[in-house]
Structure 1
Amino acid sequence: MSCLDLVRESPIIRTPRVMQLEGMFGLPAENRSCEQWSVNLPLQDRSWNIGLIVGPSGCGKTTIARELFPDQIVDEFDWSHEQSIVDAFPGKMGIKEITGLLSSVGFSSPPNWLRPYHVLSNGEQFRVRLARALAEQSGLVVIDEFTSVVDRTVARAGSCAIAKTVRRRNQMLIAVSCHYDIIDWLNPDWIYQPALNDFQWRCERPTRPPVSLRIVNVHRNAWNLFRKHHYLDSSLHKSANCFLALMEEQPAAFTAVIYFPHAQSPSYREHRTVCLPDFQGVGIGNALSEYVASLYHCKHNYTSVTGHPAMIRHRARSPLWKMNRKPSTVQRQAGFEKHRKRRIPTSRGRLTASFQYIGPSRREDAQRFGLI
């Protein structure tokens, strides 16, 4: 049981301006300002993973959280100004464990893993900070100002990814926030509202709200927004057909497709798929990839080679994909990946897996996009 009777007092120096203010608004003449809370959180009554302390600014959220959980609340970490963020995680963690944790909280951008903390966006810093807190504190983690520094669309996507990670790792997180829009996405086991002094356990709840995407066919120039986040190469084949997924009219993910000529069995191949870091963790990249695959499946076979661990895991479990080659290294380089003047980085020497799309086709949508 987390119980707290808390009083906060501060002196009032009764200057002429203060006395004028008292007269203007009929305030009593006091020498001290006092706030008090009586809090009762029955957190020992049930097992739980995620809690939310939520309410407007000034209602006492931070004061209560810091008083109840002084050793668990996460303040800002020390970050190196030069070293990559992966070097800030505990020394006992292996690189696969670090990158797996970063991916699981929705920050799945290998090029950005190499950068120092201070150059990351607010959304990226938010997720990295949480990943490090989960890595360093095996028990309860309390995060103040949860999602306060990020765009609200990004906040909802991030909350969903973080909640999945906390539950999968069987850890405990208390988010302290003034934003009610994250409730359905964070899906907490309990909510406490200091402004109402109201605590509620939440019963069995559905999964996160559905994500609505608008998918459009775009010019190759759209790649410029995504190229720096691709884990292999920033180039784009000049014949690529490109698609963009918009979440609430914000660019979220990109997929490009190229034709693979073959005398007996021509096919289409996924060339690039990237989801922006702010929107990772809710399945947008995989949803766009599979939607585009269903368009081209109307014409020929559709294949994809990927080395991204999260995408390999997803496709290995999905009924929409068949694994043609298990994760392994490729010893030879495909001819169409060569350039007359320079050699473009490929999957040679890296661990990759090959997949073929076997899900349903969307013929009407393919016609609407002018593909058939």
Structure 2
Amino acid sequence: MAQNMDESVRTVALAALTKKELRSVLTELGMSAAGSKTDLASRMTEALPSGANVRLRGLELVAIENAEGNEIPLEDLRQPVRVELEPPPPVRDPAECFPGAKIVRGEHHGRVEGFQQVQAVPRGSALTASRKRPRKPDASTDLSTALAGRKGGCVVAIVGDTGAGKTRLLLETPETSSHLEDEQDVTWNSEQAIVSQFGSVEEASTWLLAVGLTSIPSWCKPHHILSTGERYRAVMARMLQKASSPSGKGILVLDNFTNQLDRNTARACSAALSKLVRKLGIVCVVSTALMDTVEWLMPEEIFSCVGCNAGPKRCITSRSGDFVSPKVRICISDRFVIKSLRAGEPVPEDSLADADLPSRQAERLKSEFQYDADDNFAGTRTGEGGAVLVTKVSTDDATLSCDRLFDSAFDGQCMMHVPARETVAPLQAFSLGVITGMSGSAKSVLLRHHFGPPTRVSWAETHSVAAHFASAHEATRCLGLVFLDADKHGSQKYSELSTGEQELANLARVLDLRNVYLDEFTSALDRKLAVRVARAVADHLKSRDDESLGWVVVSCHADVLGPLSSAAQWMYDTWRGRIEPSDAATNDGSFCDEKQDQLAKLDARGVVEVSKDGSCGILRRPSLGLRLSRCEAWLWALFRDHHYKTKSLSRKSRCFVLYEAETGSLVGFVAAIQQVGTPHQDFEAGSESYTATWRAHRTVVLPAWQGLGIGSRLSDACAEVHRRLACMYMAQTVHPRFGEYRDRSVLWEAAKWNHSTRAFKIETWKQRLENKRIKLRIPRYVYAHVYKGPGDDEKEAVTLAAERVAFVP
């Protein structure tokens, strides 16, 4: 046996070593194995005496002999590893992080409070009795029957226009009325991060990830400074935690579900909720005026409210196929991605032609893009100056657990940059201005910082709505302008109105005022009525013939932009980052037309077919088509603030952007870099088929799209691209969502350091070449995997890949 082992050992001259053998020997000697074969041979020649030979068993280094044939002790040749301690985290100075910006400190910078008040000064005496709306006595019977027959793990949706009686139905149903206030019962400590308010880190991680709030930096913020979409998800996580507890009785009730979210964020929230309640066995009852939200919830039953004098129509849905989740698939062009990369072509100039990215914004990002001395992205933030809002939270075990995932320490400071008010022309006196953008794009903060707090209307609980106007005639006129009836709605107390009707009543009270600031404009209304109201408000402001009214309207809903543009002097789209003259002022309808085209495409996606009598419906599977294209590195500037770990990007990275196929909305970003060092141990023998080894570098999905499983698909797509380029693809992460997915997936296999705790890190190529290791201040638990892709004999893997990633000509 020993003789056979000796025969397997061979002696090889330095000049005859292959690249794989050179890498193996250099790694054994503790030296860098990065670079071309010429670089490796040069490094080896410098390290070994002249005329030395190498004895190998396969790729394993056995010994090194000098020119005389004498063995040289390996310990004399091994290059010592240089270990440096990770420097202590500096105290972050907002003034240094954002040069030239005004620093605004305070714990409540993002909370919608300190409103501009419109006081209640009612006329006449108080109402002695309220007028309740007539309703059929058995209005809630069908809903009670439906809930009684459900054992759990289902969704029941209540839909209807504004004022149709959705909330009243929930109040009149015993099974739901006791849970209707659960959302208001969720309270938050403004001095603590949200991750610290779930009882334990494990509970927080479970529920926040479950609702699609995967941004770990957001976990370390207090609730009130989160974006609207993030706040909604955080509340939903707390409510799910309660519903799954014994006191929650397995019932979750959500009134006006996703009203304040843009449609993309609403779809993602709906899909995440639908998946989770079925997994946990919770009965979820939601009411909404947004039908596309219902489609992504995929409910077992739908109750349609058609008015206050009629009971709801019950519709039992069935699926058109065997599916339990939406179909989300990424398509990749074989011609423009695979073939162009294989040919070594640069990124095509028209690679972003179908993406929703204005050319002026692209040019600005390109001009700001730059790298630092370590070849990492160091571009400046969009815009100079502005202000930095700083909030501080207490640090505890929960934030420390999140701290382990960051490249820089979390010191309790939460900073948000508010850009300077950049305009095409000096902002003169105006009648109406509009701030729009997706949920989480700081619209409310921009309103408060540049103009003032939102306008809030006060109401006397003892008087009718009409009594708050100067006269009965004024009540009839103002309520009529917003499509409320003075006799029907004006005679009721404010608290007796539906949520949407309350928003309309508030709007009626401020129609004749100046400097009105409306946040979440029309969010509580069904969208058809919202468009009518927006048009009525625009017409009313134009009729006042005053160019200095100073109204500012904030909305995440694109359908109101067209009607408002007829009266607006300017519009600010947070995605474009500039104040632009309105379409009316420039006679250019391109911006609003573009938004309307996107909405039309969304509206055409209806997936619920209801029978003529409304008693049953067929639910088709909701689908989301995405496209992955090559892109240049400067696009990282739009995504870096949403990365959980770092904002840097290597100069050597290969970058891709993900966008929605129909609307062009940007969705995500992924980058890979070439791996240095030895190949994966399981591919040593058969690695001749691999031309190179690449590894995952950065993966980001914008907050509006989180919760649909896009992140794991984006990772798979990038890996499959490299597999088709005959490259090995490796991925290492400290993010639990990514790591746990790869543990389960048949497309990935564990590397030898999977589920290990790493005490050192190597960040740059320079550190690798210098054989330098940085000792982490906090060791990190890592997940490490190698992508193997769908095997020919693995039917399940092939099907999984077809559902997730597809290649097109």
Judge conservation of contact 2:762–2:774 (CA < 8 Å) in 1.
no
| 1:70-114 deviation per Cα after TM superposition (whole angstroms, max 9, x unaligned) | 32013333223332112333x3xx201211211011111111000
Which amino acid in the other structure matches residue 159 of structure 2?
Answer: V
- Equivalents in 1 of 2:777, 2:785: separation in Å? 14
CA RMSD between the two structures: 3.0
Q: Give the 3 Å change call, closer, same or farther, for CA 211–202 of structure 1 in structure 2.
A: same
Judge conservation of contact 1:107–1:128 (CA < 8 Å) in 2.
yes
Give the 5 Å matches for 1:72-111: 72-73=179-180, 74-76=182-184, 77-89=186-198, 91=199, 94-111=200-217
Q: Give the 3 Å change call, closer, same or farther, for CA 183–347 of structure 1 in structure 2.
A: farther
Judge conservation of contact 1:337–1:346 (CA < 8 Å) in 2.
no
For residue 331 of structure 1, report the CA deviation from its aligned partner: 3.2
Secondary structure of residue in 1 paired with 2:315: strand
Give the 5 Å matches for 1:230-241: 230-241=643-654
- Equivalents in 2 of 1:237, 1:98: separation in Å? 32
Choose between structure 1 and 2: higher strand proportion. Answer: 1
Judge conservation of contact 2:759–2:780 (CA < 8 Å) in 1.
no
Which amino acid in the other structure matches residue 701 of structure 2?
Answer: C
Judge conservation of contact 1:337–1:344 (CA < 8 Å) in 2.
no
- Equivalents in 1 of 2:220, 2:294: separation in Å? 32
- Equivalents in 2 of 1:255, 1:227: separation in Å? 11
- Equivalents in 1 of 2:626, 2:288: separation in Å? 27
Which amino acid in the other structure matches residue 738 of structure 2?
Answer: M
Secondary structure of residue in 2 paired with 1:237: coil
Q: TM-score, normalised by structure 1?
A: 0.81
Asked if 1:327 corresponds to 2:436, the answer is: no
Q: 2:705 aligns with which of 240, 256, 279?
A: 279
Q: Give the 3 Å change call, closer, same or farther, for CA 33–300 of structure 1 in structure 2.
A: closer
Secondary structure of residue in 2 paired with 1:75: helix
Which amino acid in the other structure matches residue 191 of structure 2?
Answer: E
- Equivalents in 2 of 1:233, 1:347: separation in Å? 16
- Equivalents in 2 of 1:283, 1:344: separation in Å? 34
Look up the match of 2:178. 71
| 1:282-326 deviation per Cα after TM superposition (whole angstroms, max 9, x unaligned) | 111111111111111223211000122221221122121111133
Judge conservation of contact 1:232–1:346 (CA < 8 Å) in 2.
no
Which amino acid in the other structure matches residue 244 of structure 1?
Answer: V
For residue 181 of structure 1, report the CA deviation from its aligned partner: 0.7
**Which 4+ runs in 1 deviate beyond 6 A?**
337-340, 343-348, 365-368
Which of 1 and 2 has greater Rg?
2
| 1:210-242 deviation per Cα after TM superposition (whole angstroms, max 9, x unaligned) | 221021222222222322332222211121121
For residue 186 of structure 1, report the CA deviation from its aligned partner: 0.5
Q: TM-score, normalised by structure 2?
A: 0.39
Judge conservation of contact 1:54–1:179 (CA < 8 Å) in 2.
yes
Asked if 1:197 corresponds to 2:290, the answer is: no
Which amino acid in the other structure matches residue 196 of structure 2?
Answer: D
Look up the match of 1:349. 779
For residue 347 of structure 1, report the CA deviation from its aligned partner: 11
- Equivalents in 2 of 1:227, 1:147: separation in Å? 26
- Equivalents in 1 of 2:132, 2:203: separation in Å? 50
Which amino acid in the other structure matches residue 762 of structure 2?
Answer: A
Which amino acid in the other structure matches residue 75 of structure 1?
Answer: E
For residue 338 of structure 1, report the CA deviation from its aligned partner: 6.4
- Equivalents in 2 of 1:162, 1:338: separation in Å? 45
Q: Give the 3 Å change call, closer, same or farther, for CA 245–348 of structure 1 in structure 2.
A: farther
Q: 2:149 aligns with which of 45, 50, 55?
A: 45
Q: Give the 3 Å change call, closer, same or farther, for CA 367–129 of structure 1 in structure 2.
A: closer
Which amino acid in the other structure matches residue 178 of structure 2?
Answer: D
Between the two proteins, the alignment pairs up a number of residues equal to: 333
Judge conservation of contact 2:196–2:204 (CA < 8 Å) in 1.
no
Give the 5 Å matches for 1:132-171: 132-137=238-243, 138-139=248-249, 140-171=251-282
- Equivalents in 2 of 1:351, 1:179: separation in Å? 42
Q: 1:60 aligns with which of 165, 168, 171?
A: 165
Look up the match of 2:380. none
Judge conservation of contact 1:254–1:273 (CA < 8 Å) in 2.
yes
Asked if 1:180 corresponds to 2:607, the answer is: no
- Equivalents in 1 of 2:294, 2:252: separation in Å? 18
For residue 337 of structure 1, report the CA deviation from its aligned partner: 6.3
Q: Provide the identity percentage.
A: 32
| 1:323-351 deviation per Cα after TM superposition (whole angstroms, max 9, x unaligned) | 113311123323636669xx999897211
Secondary structure of residue in 1 paired with 2:623: coil
Q: Which structure exhibits the higher relative contact order, with contacts defined as CA atoms closer than 8 Å and separated by 6 or more residues? A: 2
Q: Give the 3 Å change call, closer, same or farther, for CA 65–263 of structure 1 in structure 2.
A: closer
- Equivalents in 2 of 1:79, 1:221: separation in Å? 38
- Equivalents in 2 of 1:54, 1:225: separation in Å? 36
Q: Give the 3 Å change call, closer, same or farther, for CA 32–236 of structure 1 in structure 2.
A: closer
Look up the match of 2:414. none
Look up the match of 1:315. 742
User: Once structures 1 and 2 are overlaid, which stretch shifts more, 33-42 or 141-150?
Assistant: 33-42
Which amino acid in the other structure matches residue 45 of structure 1?
Answer: G
- Equivalents in 2 of 1:344, 1:53: separation in Å? 56
Q: Give the 3 Å change call, closer, same or farther, for CA 223–202 of structure 1 in structure 2.
A: same
Judge conservation of contact 1:267–1:301 (CA < 8 Å) in 2.
yes
